[in-house]
Chains A and B, each alone.
Chain A
Amino acid sequence: MSDDAPDAAATAAPVTMVPSHVRLTYTVTAGRHLSSYLRALADRRIVGGRCPVCTKVYLPARGACPTCGVPADQPVEVADRGTVTTFCVIRIPFEAAPFPPPYVAVAILLDGADMPIFHLVRGIAPEEARMGMRVQARWVADDQLGPTLASIRWFELSGEPDAAYETYANHL
Chain B
Amino acid sequence: MTAANRCAIVGIGQTHHKAKRQDVSIPGLIREAALRALADAELTWKDIDAVVIGKAPDMFEGVMMPELFLADALGAAGKPILRVHTAGSVGGSTAICAAHLIMGGIHRRVLTVAFEKQSESDAMWALSPRIPFQPQLTAGAGGYFAPLVRAYMRRSGAPDDVGLQVAVKDRQHGLKNPYAHLRIKGIDRAMVADSPMLWDPIRYLETCPSSDGACAMVLAAEDAAAAPRPPAWVHGLATRSEPVVFSGRDQVNPQAGRDCARDIYAQAGIHTPSKDLDVAELYVPFSWFEPMWLENLGFAAEGEGWKVTASGATALGGALPINPSGGVLCSNPIGASGMLRFAEAAMQVRDQAGEHQVDGARRAMGHAYGGGSQFFAMWIVGRDRP
- Within B214-258, the residues touching A (CB, 8 Å) are 243, 245-248, 250-252
- For the complex, is A141 an interface residue (Cβ under 8 Å from B)? no
* Residues of chain A within 8 A of B154, CB atoms compared: 86, 131, 165, 172
- For the complex, is B143 an interface residue (Cβ under 8 Å from A)? yes
Mark contacts of B153-178 with chain A using CB atoms, 8 A cut-off: 1 yes-contact digit, 0 otherwise: 01100000000000000000000000
> Known contacts being A20-B62, A96-B130, A107-B147, is A172 close to B136, with CB within 8 Å?
no
Mark contacts of B139-159 with chain A using CB atoms, 8 A cut-off: 1 yes-contact digit, 0 otherwise: 110110011101100110000
Determine whether the beta carbon of B247 is less than 8 Å from that of A98: no
Mark contacts of B342-380 with chain A using CB atoms, 8 A cut-off: 1 yes-contact digit, 0 otherwise: 000000000000000000000000000000000000000
> Known contacts being A66-B245, A87-B150, A88-B143, is A28 close to B132, with CB within 8 Å?
yes
- Within A3-28, the residues touching B (CB, 8 Å) are 16-17, 20, 22, 28
* Residues of chain B within 8 A of A34, CB atoms compared: 133
Contact pick for B151, options A30, A54, A86, A91, CB 8 Å: A86
Contact pick for B150, options A86, A94, A149, CB 8 Å: A86
C-alpha gap A86/B135 in the complex (Å): 19
* Residues of chain B within 8 A of A67, CB atoms compared: 246-247
* Residues of chain A within 8 A of B201, CB atoms compared: 88
Determine whether the beta carbon of A150 is less than 8 Å from that of B147: no
Closest 5 CB pairs of A and B: A88-B146, A89-B200, A66-B246, A172-B151, A56-B247
C-alpha gap A115/B245 in the complex (Å): 8
- For the complex, is B198 an interface residue (Cβ under 8 Å from A)? yes
C-alpha gap A141/B202 in the complex (Å): 35
- Within A83-138, the residues touching B (CB, 8 Å) are 85-92, 94-98, 102, 105-107, 114-115, 118-120, 126, 131
Determine whether the beta carbon of A96 is less than 8 Å from that of B128: yes
C-alpha gap A106/B151 in the complex (Å): 12
C-alpha gap A112/B64 in the complex (Å): 42
Minimum distance in angstroms from A54 CB to a CB of chain B: 7
- For the complex, is B124 an interface residue (Cβ under 8 Å from A)? yes
Determine whether the beta carbon of A91 is less than 8 Å from that of B196: yes
A-B residue pairs in contact (CB < 8 Å), sample of 17: A17-B22, A22-B59, A56-B248, A57-B247, A86-B147, A88-B200, A92-B139, A105-B143, A115-B246, A115-B247, A118-B138, A120-B135, A149-B135, A150-B135, A169-B155, A172-B155, A172-B251
Minimum distance in angstroms from B296 CB to a CB of chain A: 14
B: residues with CB less than 8 A from A are 22, 59, 62, 119-120, 124-125, 128, 130, 132-140, 142-143, 146-148, 150-151, 154-155, 196-202, 243, 245-248, 250-252
Minimum distance in angstroms from A26 CB to a CB of chain B: 9
Determine whether the beta carbon of A88 is less than 8 Å from that of B247: no
C-alpha gap A119/B147 in the complex (Å): 12
Minimum distance in angstroms from B212 CB to a CB of chain A: 12
Contact pick for B134, options A88, A115, A150, CB 8 Å: A150
> Known contacts being A58-B247, A172-B251, A172-B252, is A94 close to B142, with CB within 8 Å?
no
Minimum distance in angstroms from B308 CB to a CB of chain A: 21
What residue of chain A has the Cβ atom nearest to residue B252's Cβ?
A172
Determine whether the beta carbon of B62 is less than 8 Å from that of A89: no
Determine whether the beta carbon of A54 is less than 8 Å from that of B247: yes
What residue of chain A has the Cβ atom nearest to residue B133's Cβ?
A148
> Known contacts being A91-B197, A105-B143, A172-B151, is A114 close to B248, with CB within 8 Å?
yes
Determine whether the beta carbon of B120 is less than 8 Å from that of A17: yes
* Residues of chain A within 8 A of B137, CB atoms compared: 98, 105, 118-120
Determine whether the beta carbon of B133 is less than 8 Å from that of A94: no
- For the complex, is A147 an interface residue (Cβ under 8 Å from B)? yes
Determine whether the beta carbon of B196 is less than 8 Å from that of A148: no
Contact pick for B200, options A20, A91, A95, CB 8 Å: A91
What residue of chain A has the Cβ atom nearest to residue B207's Cβ?
A92
Minimum distance in angstroms from A56 CB to a CB of chain B: 4
* Residues of chain A within 8 A of B147, CB atoms compared: 86-88, 105-107
Determine whether the beta carbon of A98 is less than 8 Å from that of B136: yes
Determine whether the beta carbon of B150 is less than 8 Å from that of A88: yes
- For the complex, is A2 an interface residue (Cβ under 8 Å from B)? no
Determine whether the beta carbon of B124 is less than 8 Å from that of A38: no
C-alpha gap A147/B134 in the complex (Å): 9
- For the complex, is A171 an interface residue (Cβ under 8 Å from B)? yes
- For the complex, is A144 an interface residue (Cβ under 8 Å from B)? no
Determine whether the beta carbon of B243 is less than 8 Å from that of A66: yes
C-alpha gap A83/B321 in the complex (Å): 39
Minimum distance in angstroms from A77 CB to a CB of chain B: 17
- Within A46-86, the residues touching B (CB, 8 Å) are 54, 56-58, 65-67, 85-86
